[in-house]
Structure 1
């Protein structure tokens, strides 16, 4: 991979992911969250389908079931909870809290997969949770939006584990496209069951609706995934993933610039702690003597 392209591609991917929060919140002014996400992912699926139709597809039922499960966690639960959380918390806080997925990943692998981590990485877990408390103004309260954003980070970690274990035998672009398609279908069901579907043009202009939808479909769902998977494929995933701390930073600044959300000093302090936590968590773990134990999984190979 041309190293001169590395930093620009990382900045493109993380910037798009970060701006997805304030722009997604703008979309909530004319659409209910699950319906908006369904339009986003199904639109991206339709646009990408002609480009991947000639690639190798799974021929058995089980791989398709695995793709559907990844889509359920990655596209339905993660994004659904993030968008739902922005009804009661700012897009900045949603971006920071949901970006705790590397911390959840360490806890899951340590508790359930018997993966050992160094003290430096556990220090990262502690710093990450300190950062979460800081973003809430040092009086952490489990408001509905706060809880949903944290659960989004947990589901993101689960989706990363599923993608790592199940995605190795499925072509990357086939997996990406169809997991968005399945995720979009699940979101349609969620919209019909869990909310009153709403899409109105009464409070916003048609121009604003069109550009928000184009951004979510083309930039957030296609450009971001293409760029990110290109980076993962051509570089060390663990090192690339350590740059994900830029996502909540761009999300926080984007919420301030685009939505005029208050930029409190303690939110910035919390972002710094979380950034340090994610950086330390991404440090290579000690190799285990027992080769039967699984190795740590590169953190957050997919972004929001």
Structure 2
């Protein structure tokens, strides 16, 4: 990769890693489901007037918007609102990679590789260790909601797989136009769960801090992050670009510690290390084993 593109990839990592502390700032003043409605409204408008919608079935926009947007962020925002530490949330959410593997086997009939099973086992042990530490500093409900958000993200990844059938797709355009889907479901959930009084109170006392959180989540994490990411994915093989998100929890954990003094216990570090090791095994082991086999063949040739 060119140095300038490596820098862009690191910008994406930074933007997505800081996303979690911004969410915590946002839900401290705005109910989480209302925050989701505001985020995707700002992401869609006015961008839809300047970005062309890819020619795709409406069902794909609806499925993507309801899974990766509504499902993932309704759970994540609520989890952080009820006390899930932002840094740990950035780590636990990476379990989406393994939910994606499971759903790909169930829905797409993909076959397991041994490295995937090893990675899944390591990640499951890591998540179990983190889950055992629930208490005042990490409520069990917050942990379970974060895992549910990861599972919803994974379902959205399965939806993403179906985009390949329609040829090259502008992911920026797809993300922008998909952002028209979540605001109404988010608002309906907010009215039902949080209530009209909470919505009215939040909007009538809307601060610069809340405005900054919505702006960052909509234009930074959503439009800038996905825009740069889709550019990199279009220029390089996925194998070169996909390792970079492994750095997102590092940024999230560091930011949570520096900004909110979210100290990690040793079991968190052990569980997080196992989860990330599982991701690394899943991502790199097939490539490494293939190279070793090729070197072995080359060494055996006269």
Please state which band the TM-score falls in when normalised by the shorter chain.
0.7 to 0.9
**Superposed CA RMSD:** 2.6
Q: How many Å apart are 1:199 and its aligned residue?
A: 6.2
Residue number in structure 2 paired with 1:289: none
- Aligned-pair CA distance for 1:57: 4.6
Q: Any idea what SS the aligned residue of 2:191 has? A: helix
SS of equivalent to 1:73: helix
Match of 1:247 in 2: 248
TM-score by length of 1: 0.82
| 1:162 correspondence with 2:159 | yes
- Output one character per residue of 1:30-74: Cα deviation in whole Å (capped at 9) or x when no partner: 10001111111110111322321xx3553xxx7112211111101
* Structure 1 unaligned blocks of 5 or more: 287-304
Correspondence 1:18 to 2:13? no
Judged with a 3 Å threshold, the aligned counterparts in structure 2 of structure 1 residues 177 and 139 are, in CA distance, closer, same or farther, namely closer
Distance of 1:220 and 1:57 partners within structure 2: 21
C-alpha deviation, 1:126, in angstroms:
1.1
Q: Deviations over 1:156-181 (max 9, x none)?
A: 11101101203653542321111112
Say whether residues 1:275 and 2:276 are aligned partners: yes
Q: Cα gap change, 1:132/1:272 in structure 2, threshold over 3 Å: closer, same or farther?
A: same
- Please give the per-residue CA displacement for 1:113-169, whole angstroms capped at 9, x wherever unaligned: 332232222111111112212334567998211111111111111101101203653
Show the 5 A alignment for 1:54-73.
Answer: 55=52, 57-58=54-55, 63-73=57-67
Distance 1:230 1:284, change over 3 A: farther
Structure with higher helix content: 2
**Alignment partners' CA distance in 1, 2:232 and 2:109:** 28
For the Cα contact (< 8 Å) 1:30–1:198, is it kept in 2? no
Secondary structure of the residue that 1:182 maps to in structure 2? coil
Question: 2: distance between equivalents of 1:231 and 1:5?
Answer: 11
Tell me what 2:147 maps to. Answer: 150
| Structure 2 match to 1:98 | 93
Alpha carbons of 1:256 and 1:56: their partners in 2 closer, same or farther (altered >3 Å)? closer
Corresponding residue number in structure 1 for 2:294: none
Given that 2:99 and 2:154 are in contact with CA atoms closer than 8 Å, whether structure 1 keeps it comes out as yes
- Residue matched to 1:108: 103
- Kept in 1: contact 2:21–2:86 (CA 8 A): yes
Q: How many residues align?
A: 279
SS of the residue aligned with 1:88?
coil
Distance, in Å, in 2 between the alignment partners of 1:178 and 1:138 is 40
CA distance in 1, matches of 2:62, 2:45: 16
Are the equivalent residues in 2 in contact too, given 1:98–1:150 (CA < 8 A)?
yes
- Determine the structure 1 residue equivalent to 2:44: 45
Counterpart in the other structure of 2:122:
127
Higher gyration radius (CA): 2
CA contact (8 A) 2:100 2:155 kept: yes
| Equivalent-residue separation in structure 1 for 2:99 and 2:164 (angstroms) | 20
- In structure 2, the residue corresponding to 1:123 is in which secondary structure? helix
CA gap 1:216/1:137 in 2 versus in 1, 3 angstroms = same
